[in-house]
Amino acid sequence: MSTGHLLVVGAGQAGAQLVSSARDLGWAGPVTLVGQEPHAPYSRPPLSKAVLRGQATVESLALRSPAFYRDQHVDLVLDERVTRLELSGTGSGTAVAASGRSWEFDRLALATGAEPRRLDLAGADLDGVVVLRDLADAEALARRLDVADLVVVGGGFIGLEVAATAAAAGVRVTVVEAGPSLMGRVVSPVTAELVRAAHQDAGVRVLTGARPLRFCGDRGSVAAVELADGTRLPAGLVLVGVGARPRDDLARAAGLRCDGGVVVDAFSRASDGHTLAVGDCADLPDPTPGSDRRLRLESVDNAVEQAKAAATTLVGDPRPYTGVPWFWSDQGSLKIQIAGLAHPDDEVVLRPGERPGRFTALRYRGDRLTAAECVNAPADFMVVRKALAQGRAVSRAEAADAGVPLKKLLA
Amino acid sequence: MPKVCYTQPDGTERVVEAEVGDSVMQAAVRNGVPGILGQCGGSLSCATCHVFLDERHADDFPPVGEDEDDMLDVAATDRADNSRLSCQLVLAAGQEVHVTIPETQL
Ligand SMILES: Cc1cc2nc3c(=O)[nH]c(=O)nc-3n(C[C@H](O)[C@H](O)[C@H](O)COP(=O)(O)OP(=O)(O)OC[C@H]3O[C@@H](n4cnc5c(N)ncnc54)[C@H](O)[C@@H]3O)c2cc1C
């Protein structure tokens, strides 16, 4: 059945990959990619860096060229928000947009991504309290970066990326994190502390264990953030970066199982056995070989690799999605690369680098290497990603000797 | 317009017309050339845009940088003398470049 009409809802990283891979694998029928933003699929990582510095354009962010959609016969429909799905139970159905426009499809894929969580605090609706997900958000943020003081609520990846970019532009930045360390449970405490020190060296003030109580305004615009301990932080601009919520509402309303994301199997099939869900919106089996947990991944790697695997399901030659998840985050002078998914209680083997600001924290479960957190250490990152992908052991005792390059251990 | 000719590991070729200032990686990804992933968008974080650059263009681009060198050393497909990360190969007007895509990037 690769001749019917394929409809992909959500024109982002995963949606763009899915239509490309479907065509590569021989999907011969019509393909429609519908997105609610006014832009063709673009890359989001530069939104917290190059876009804020004014160094990127819509064209430079584009994931595919206009010629691609034309040559591949992909009907790209922008500025249309799908608000309702009718599913027949056998994969086909109808999607209806807010404008009233509708599409009948033989096969449906959801690639709706995630949206920033907001804080339910007094003053959260003041002008100048913003979030960052879309190009429109980034452009608005860039226009406001001439403020004296920026408060970033949330010490996660996006918040720290923006903090570093803004500090480099001369803004006074305070990061307010409710938890005990930065980047939550995603990285080890060792890495979190070293990263914190680097941000502080770059002039960013970092407060952990600090809870915002309310946003205080001055004539409708934010002027300060008040913390639970009474501290008042001046703020001409507040970025709330406290994580994202999967956009699974459409799927839920259509009767598909959702549990903090559209629940899919290793073939990216939702509970009706036909509809696909890929990228940030999906709750999926961990693709790491040997793992049996379920999770949601918010990364370019996952959006791309899951969508590629899902395309095999579409064309009737289903291959499960497997691979070693990886992620990167550029925070000022820090190139953070993470290979593999550690459990929060996995142990840490720290390998200091040959110069300051460069190190690798290897994560071990017993003698088994589970992940690596690499800071300005791209070679280590490559070694670990390769070792995990090929199921090769890296002995813990040997890895602890920072004098021996990691790549020697793979030879 | 610069042109890039991509040769797949199985020998099939595809020529893409690129924009001046695009990298060999961007031209591939935007036009759906399989085998070059370029996941990080060119920030030297992923090494999923490894290519073998035809020897005749070796001097047309800046030499391999330190991070690029480190990452190529441990690339998913073994490095050769003409290995490059194609995000570092930025195209100038009128340039014609031939690259070969490795078996695997991940
Ligand atoms: C600022 C920022 C920095 C990031 N940095 C990194 C990084 O350094 N490394 C990394 O690996 N990842 C990074 N990410 C995460 C990465 O960008 C996402 O994981 C990836 O974009 C997910 O792809 P997706 O297609 O699932 O979702 P998206 O790219 O968000 O695409 C979903 C699209 O669907 C549209 N949509 C949703 N609902 C509907 C509807 N009902 N009708 C029509 N359209 C709809 C949305 O508007 C959106 O355009 C970053 C994200 C952000 C926001």
Indicate which CATH number applies to the domain containing A147.
3.50.50.60
Per-residue burial over A264-302, b if 16 or more Cβ lie within 10 Å, else e, is: bebbbbbbbebbbbbbbbbbbbbbbeeeeeebbbbbbbb
At a CB cut-off of 8 Å and minimum separation 6, what does A180 contact?
A: A208, A209
Q: Residues A203, A253: one domain? A: no
Q: Is residue A175 part of a domain?
A: yes
What are the average pLDDT values for consecutive 10-residue runs of chain A, which has 411 residues? 91 98 96 98 97 92 95 98 97 98 98 97 97 98 97 98 98 97 93 96 97 96 98 98 97 97 98 98 96 96 97 97 96 96 95 89 95 95 92 90 86 62
CA distance A97 to A72: 24
Q: Residues A295, A356: one domain? A: no
Angle, alpha carbons A262-A22-B7 (nearest 5°): 135
Q: Is residue A333 part of a domain?
A: no
Q: Residues A290, A383: one domain? A: no
Structure confidence at residue A2 (pLDDT): 78
Instruction: Tell me which chain B residue has its CA closest to the CA of residue A62.
Output: B30
Test B41 with A45 for CB contact under 8 angstroms. yes
Instruction: List the pLDDT tens digit at each of the 106 positions of chain B.
Output: 999 999 999 999 999 999 999 999 999 999 999 999 998 888 898 999 999 999 999 999 999 999 999 999 988 899 999 999 999 999 999 999 999 999 998 8
A382 interface with B at CB cutoff 8 Å: yes
Express each pLDDT in B69-93 by its tens digit.
999 998 889 999 999 999 999 999 9
* Residue B106 to residues A71, A83, A299, Cα–Cα distance (Å): 27, 37, 15
Q: Residues A185, A274: one domain? A: no
Closest-lying ligand 1 atom to the alpha carbon of residue A133: 53
Which domains does chain B possess? Answer: 3-100 (3.10.20.30)
| A-to-B residue pairs, Cβ atoms closer than 8 angstroms | 70
Last residue of a domain, one of A224, A242, A260: A242
Structure confidence at residue A185 (pLDDT): 82
Q: Is residue A322 part of a domain?
A: no
Q: Is residue A329 part of a domain?
A: no
Q: Is residue A185 part of a domain?
A: yes
Q: Residues A111, A249: one domain? A: yes
Identify all chain B residues contacting A300, using CB atoms and an 8 Å cutoff: 39-41
Q: Residues A102, A81: one domain? A: yes
Name the residue at shortest CA distance from atom 17 of ligand 1.
A44
Q: Is residue A324 part of a domain?
A: no
* Number of C-beta neighbours around residue B51 at 10 A: 28
Q: Residues A196, A234: one domain? A: yes
CA distance A89 to A275: 9
Q: Is residue A394 part of a domain?
A: yes
Q: Is residue A323 part of a domain?
A: no
- Overall domain count for chain A: 3
In 3D space, the residue among A361, A390, A363, A366 whose CA is nearest the CA of residue A377 turns out to be A361
3-state secondary structure chain A: CCCCCEEEECCCHHHHHHHHHHHHCCCCCCEEEECCCCCCCECCHHHHCCCCCCCCCHHHHECCCHHHHHHCCEEEECCCCEEEEEECCCCCEEEEECCCCEEEECEEEECCCEEECCCCCECCCCECEECCCCHHHHHHHHHHCCCCEEEEECCCHHHHHHHHHHHHCCCEEEEECCCCCCCCCCCCHHHHHHHHHHHHHCCCEEECCCCEEEEEEECCEEEEEEECCCCEEECCEEEECCCEEECCHHHHHCCCCECCCEECCCCCECCCCCCEECHHHEEEECCCCCCCCEECCCCHHHHHHHHHHHHHHHCCCCCCCCCCCEEEEEECCEEEEEECCCCCCCEEEEEECCCCCCEEEEEEECCEEEEEEEECCHHHHHHHHHHHHCCCCCCHHHHCCCCCCHHHHHC
Q: Residues A16, A155: one domain? A: no
CA distance A14 to B65: 31
Q: Which helix (H) or strand (E) holds B50?
A: strand B50-53
Q: Residues A267, A207: one domain? A: no
Q: Residues A222, A257: one domain? A: no
Amino acid identity of residue A71, one-letter, is D
Q: Which helix (H) or strand (E) holds B69?
A: helix B66-73
In 3D space, the residue among A323, A8, A70 whose CA is nearest the CA of residue B32 turns out to be A70
Q: Residues A198, A254: one domain? A: no
Domain span at residue A111 reads 6-115+245-314
The SS3 call for residue B15 is: strand
Q: Residues A18, A95: one domain? A: yes
CATH number assigned to the domain comprising residue A356: 3.30.390.30
CA distance A162 to A49: 7
Structure confidence at residue A411 (pLDDT): 62
CA–CA min distance A327, chain B (Å)? 9
Query: pTM for the complete prediction?
Result: 0.96
The SS3 call for residue B33 is: coil
Are β-strands B50-53 and A359-365 bridged in parallel, bridged antiparallel, or unpaired?
unpaired
Instruction: Tell me which chain B residue has its CA closest to the CA of residue A384.
Output: B74
CA of A189 to the centre of ligand 1 (A): 27
